[in-house]
Amino acid sequence: MKLKTYKALVPYILKESKEIVGVAFLYLDCGCIKVCKLSGNGYLIEHIFLNPLKLNKFPICLKCDDDKGSIYRVIHFEIIWADDESKMLNGEQRLAILRKAFGGDFLELGVFTK
């Protein structure tokens, strides 16, 4: 699945579960993109792997197969937050969730949508 196609599904993913406050796209050094649901208590729930270089065939490369897309290989990440009223978070709450999910060292890699 293409990244663009997948991003169009994000609102539905956010709607289907109460605990999910965002969807995280983790861009890995191998070219794969690990997509995780982000829970309100700061857990990254592995959801799907996208690999723009190997569409459809093998969604995961050998590196990812080996380490399941380790956070240490994340070169950049993007969060799409839920905009549902019941899940609205302020900047501080978001930061607390991200600190838990990524740890302080990784925060600078992020781009936050919405």
Write out the residues near Zn ion by the rule CB under 5 A: 30, 32, 61, 63-64
Q: Give the CA distances from residue 96 to residues 2, 9, 79, 107, 111, in Å, rounded to whole numbers and listed in that order.
A: 30, 26, 14, 11, 15
CB of residue 19 to Zn ion, shortest distance in Å: 27
Closer to Zn ion by Cβ: residue 34 or 37: 34
89 within 8 A of 21, measured Cβ to Cβ:
yes
Q: Which two tokens stand for residue 104?
A: 């302080």
By DSSP bridging, strand 20-28 and strand 74-81 are: antiparallel
Closer to Zn ion by Cβ: residue 106 or 112: 106
Closer to Zn ion by Cβ: residue 30 or 107: 30
Tell me the residue nearest to Zn ion as measured from the CB: 32
CB of residue 30 to Zn ion, shortest distance in Å: 3
CB of residue 31 to Zn ion, shortest distance in Å: 6
Cα-to-chain-centroid distance, residue 16: 16
